[in-house]
Structure 1
Amino acid sequence: MEKAESIAIDVLSWIATDPELFNRFVDLSGLDPSQIREAAQEQGFLAGVLGFIMNHEPTLLNYCSAQNERPEDVARAFQSLGGQVNNGW
């Protein structure tokens, strides 16, 4: 679980570096940007972060390329945090 949380936090940090992607994440999450840090402490939030990129393959692949991570590892982290994999990962 620790590795899964580490990947999710890395994904969140990576999302935050791209204003367009971050705005899309905020819009879809329904959170105000000022609420992100507090929301990150809630159960399920990190799975939601991973779900965000898992549901958009180009974003997932961009993250994996930029961070030298394998999509399969992101999918395992997502499942470990309680996410449901539906797209064949």
Structure 2
Amino acid sequence: MRSDSPSPLAPERAETIALQALAWLVGHDDLRDVFLGATGLSEANLRSRAQDPDLLISTLDFLMMDDAWVMAFCDAHGLAYIDPHSARQSLPGGAQHHWT
């Protein structure tokens, strides 16, 4: 493991953080609309796929596109700023593989 890698989270904790991120995004109209546009999902698809690991990973990827979003989300939920990244890595299929 690389020394700069985030600490892994329990799968349940990672899913909770991802679901919190999804709810946070949906609660911000401007971000929700951009997220839906980026993913191609409708609001109905979003609700029906909320537990899908691929959607949760996409949610965290979207959130992490902007440091201000990460900070606002984490501040709102009392999380460390690294937690969304740790959650992404800990979700099924979320570990990023490096070619080096």
Q: Which TM-score band (shorter chain)?
A: 0.7 to 0.9
Distance 1:51 1:43 in 2: 12
> How many residues are aligned here?
86
Other-structure match for 2:32: 22
The two structures have a TM-score, normalised by structure 2, of: 0.77
CA–CA distance in 2 between the matches of 1:43 and 1:35?
A: 14
Question: What is the aligned partner in structure 2 of residue 52 from structure 1?
Answer: 62
Name segments (4+ residues, structure 1) moved above 3 Å: 83-86
Gaps of 5+ in 2: 1-10
- Structure 2 vs 1, CA of residues 4 and 36 (structure 1 numbering), >3 Å: closer, same or farther? same
Task: With the length of structure 1 as denominator, give the TM-score of the two structures.
Answer: 0.85
Please state how far the C-alpha of 1:38 moved relative to its aligned partner: 1.6
Percent identity of the aligned residues?
31
Q: Which structure has more helix as a fraction of its residues?
A: 1
- Larger-Rg structure: 2
1:84 to 73, 79, 96: 96
